[in-house]
Amino acid sequence: MRRWAISVLLEAGAIHECEEHGWMQDRADPHARDRALDTARRDPPQGVSAQDAVGAITEVLDGIGDTCPECSQQVD
């Protein structure tokens, strides 16, 4: 479910990947989040309820920050 949720969030533009390190980062775009949640409600994975799909999206978003942990540790 996590991979599916990340895929939906990436497609909606709610998250992006750090180009240097590959960490997922929250773009803090409420419209993109809404698009991802709407997709989860309308088209959950087969055998998964819409409620569980929305929960998976929310869980992934809750675990992703807006900065890359490795980039923030680098000293200029």
- In sequence order, what are the residues at sequence separation of 6 or more whose Cβ sits closer than 8 angstroms to the Cβ of residue 70? 18, 20, 21, 23
Q: How many domains, in total, are found in the chain?
A: 1
Residue 25 vs residues 1, 7, 35, 39, 74: alpha-carbon distances, Å: 18, 13, 17, 20, 17
Helix, strand or coil, per DSSP, at residue 24: strand
How confident is the model over 12-64, as pLDDT tens digits?
999 999 988 989 999 999 999 999 999 999 999 999 999 999 999 999 999 99
Query: The CATH number of the domain where 10 resides is what?
Result: 1.10.10.1920
Reported pTM: 0.88
Length of the chain as a residue count: 76
| Domain membership of residue 60 as a residue range | 2-73
Rounded to whole angstroms, the Cα distance separating 8 from 75 reads 33
